[in-house]
Chains A and B, each alone.
Chain A
Amino acid sequence: MGSAFAAGFEILSFGAIIVLVVLGLGIIASMMGIFNFAQGEFVLLGAYITYLAYSNGIPVWVGMAAAPFLVGALGFVLEGLIIRRFYAAPIVAMLGTYALGLIIRESVRGLIGGFYLSVPEPVGGSIDIGSIHVSTWRFVIIIVTTLVMIGCYLLLSRTSFGLRVRATLENPSLARTSGISTASIYGTTFAFGAALAGLAGALLVPVFSLFADLGIRFLIQGFVSVMVGGVGSFIGPVAGAAVIGTLSAALPWVMAPVAADILVFVLAIVFIKFRPQGLMSGKGV
């Protein structure tokens, strides 16, 4: 019983981590039809900013709070300077984001070298329930992820800003005709997606050490999640992330980790092949 609970918690916390990373990727993909190859590197930046704060004596949680804003701002700038030119050619846009990701990754690598750096969590230790020890910080991650998701949902469905975003998502030309500035919506969306990635990186860095290739593994899991979940909606990528995260965390309990790793991706690809629209098709929230 205890072991089942521990397993359940592990799976939940890992799933939450993936959802946090994928949320931003999904929003950008659904909105602008661009798969942001630099998303993994935004996660890396969030982690790096947190580390910078820590290594300069600033409390870790301050760094974590600042990370989403800083990364979001960077995302906004990048969108305006570079991504904006490629909306007509999504493939080229993706390659552009790949180049950006490369620049960011190698810059971070230059700054931290090849080292694996650790950052302590702001709220450490574990919660003891009987004989079960549950990592406090992982618990915090689950809480934060849930709050963020609820916040996003409310933002998109209840506010007028969210209304404009949804309008642009469903029919960009009509939205433009109605007077909505799609350009600034896109900019904000990209910034938002980047900010989410930054937040994910900041929250994750106590769990996984900081190293330059942190972004790559999340990128692939992210893409697969988005496609499994379905591009075009808010809930789609979240669902996909939940599925992929759960599978990735659960399978190693029943088979060799290597096989589990590969099986998740193979299953995902086969699934997408036979259901290209993903789990949740349709646009909107």
Chain B
Amino acid sequence: MFSDHNYLSRRRFLSGFASASGALATGVGSWVVRPDWANAAEGPIKVGIATDLTGPIAYAGNADANVAKMVIKEINDAGGLLGRPIELFIEDTASNESIAVGNVRKLIQRDKVDMVLGGITSSMRNAIKDPIVARGKTLYIYPQLYEGKECTPYLFCTGPTPAQQCDEFIPWLIKNGGKKFALPSANYVWPHTLNVYARKVIEANGGEVVFEEYYPLDQIDFGSTVNRIISNKVDVVFNTVIPPGVGPFFKQLYEAGFLKNGGRLACVYYDENTLNINQANEIEGLASCLDYFKALTKDDPVSARIQAAYDKDYPGKILFAAGSAATGTYRGLKLWAAAVKEAGKVDRDSVAAALDHAKIAEGPGGPAEMVPGKRHCKMKMYTAVAKGGNYEIVARSNGLVDPKEC
């Protein structure tokens, strides 16, 4: 799909032939983005992306794959890394853990990549981290906002953590919403762990958690929940229900008059992509806290540049947004590239050692820094509110926020 071979040397012909016959024997390897030139003696550096290209999380996975292609192309156009081109291998985890493990194995055993970046939901991360880090002995970068507590060696997280999403957000919610919180949640690890942290912050700031409930992922009828919210006069719904339930849930909440009576919706994974799940009036006033919003492009030239580059290469429905791990992917790849430059080598231990304290000055939303020894990333955080189908930034962090993990 993306191979343009401009000139053919004998070595390239032979290697091309070998891989083609290998591909015929094993099925054409998913999406391989081969750079144009291969004059480095050691061959290309191989990066693997394992993300949800199909399934309910496809809107996010495709964004991540696009960002990866964009960043890698940018690096290659500037001369590659350590004088070598980067070769990108993209595998579909299909929002299905069992398929994911099989495809990740292809990256590790067949393509022999030097690094894997990917996974969006925590369950996906949990499923693929073992084949990558333990059995595959490869570096793994996880780009999505999540519940924290992932302290596996050689696993680096470049998305926001509960501390980054709650520490300043929840006080803002109490001031701009009210003291009574409800925690309706999807029943899996991210909401469970996030709620523990959120509850701590809510209570430390004088708020009260009226109820905390967990629903099966495909639950689409929330009558009893909505009723409990209304009858308990809840001020802020701190929601961690995810698609497919979140659309019907917000709609039912709206129909019951929650917003009319002054209630506020809060959802820390809501970004530009998820705005389209409901009609604009159903989520008016919804607040989210992420490392990047498109509204930032108005006053941050770096963010504007990155957003413009993405929109030019990938116009359409797949948006560059922070709740979909796209910003984390950008950050992760840039940090990794910086680490490889510092290490001068591509083997796992050298890169991990350099990545441990890597910094980038330019990223979506601002600069980013890995916290040494913690394998998590400091970044700027922004609170935004949905108004008429678009986000408006209402609060910014003072500088980089500490992830407080591990």
Nearest-neighbor residue (CB-CB) of A120 within chain B: B279
Q: A35 near B: Cβ within 8 Å?
A: no
CB distance from B195 to the nearest CB of A (A): 16
Residue-by-residue, is A98-121 near B (CB-CB < 8 Å gives 1, otherwise 0)? 000000000000000111101010
A257 in contact with B54 (CB, 8 Å): no
A257 in contact with B56 (CB, 8 Å): no
Per a CB cutoff under 8 Å, which of A126, A211, A249, A258 touches B56?
A211
Residue-by-residue, is A211-245 near B (CB-CB < 8 Å gives 1, otherwise 0)? 10100010000000000000000000000000000
A256–B276 Cα distance when bound, in Å, is 30
Stretch at the interface among B103-111, B218-226, B381-389: B218-226
A209 in contact with B248 (CB, 8 Å): yes
A14–B248 Cα distance when bound, in Å, is 13
A249 in contact with B227 (CB, 8 Å): no
A223–B89 Cα distance when bound, in Å, is 44
A208 in contact with B220 (CB, 8 Å): yes
Number of A-B residue pairs with CB-CB distance less than 8 Å in the complex they form: 82
A118 in contact with B223 (CB, 8 Å): no
Q: B32 near A: Cβ within 8 Å?
A: no
Q: State how many residues of chain B have any CB contact under 8 Å with chain A.
A: 34
A230–B290 Cα distance when bound, in Å, is 53
Nearest-neighbor residue (CB-CB) of B243 within chain A: A116
Per a CB cutoff under 8 Å, which of A115, A213, A257 touches B58?
A115
Note all chain B residues with C-beta closer than 8 A to A115: 56, 58-59
Q: B343 near A: Cβ within 8 Å?
A: no
Q: State how many residues of chain A have any CB contact under 8 Å with chain B.
A: 30
Interface residues of B in 210-230 (CB under 8 A from A): 213-216, 218-221, 223-224, 227
B255 in contact with A258 (CB, 8 Å): no
Note all chain B residues with C-beta closer than 8 A to A113: 54, 58
A257 in contact with B216 (CB, 8 Å): yes
B248 in contact with A207 (CB, 8 Å): yes
Q: B360 near A: Cβ within 8 Å?
A: no
Per a CB cutoff under 8 Å, which of A133, A208, A211, A252 touches B256?
A133
Note all chain B residues with C-beta closer than 8 A to A120: 279
B221 in contact with A135 (CB, 8 Å): no
Note all chain B residues with C-beta closer than 8 A to A253: 223-224
Per a CB cutoff under 8 Å, which of B95, B214, B221 touches A249?
B221
A135 in contact with B244 (CB, 8 Å): no
A6 in contact with B56 (CB, 8 Å): no
Residue-by-residue, is A110-145 near B (CB-CB < 8 Å gives 1, otherwise 0)? 000111101010000110100001010000000000
Kindly list 15 other residue pairs between chains A and B, CB separation below 8 angstroms, not including A115-B58, A256-B214, A257-B224.
A10-B224, A114-B56, A116-B56, A126-B255, A126-B256, A133-B256, A133-B257, A135-B255, A209-B244, A211-B244, A253-B223, A256-B213, A257-B219, A258-B214, A258-B215
List residues of B whose CB falls within 8 A of some A CB. 52, 54-59, 95, 187, 213-216, 218-221, 223-224, 227, 231, 243-244, 247-248, 251-252, 255-257, 276-279
Show 14 A/B contacts (Cβ-Cβ < 8 Å), sorted by A.
A7-B224, A10-B224, A14-B221, A114-B56, A114-B57, A116-B247, A118-B277, A126-B257, A207-B251, A209-B277, A257-B213, A257-B216, A258-B215, A261-B216
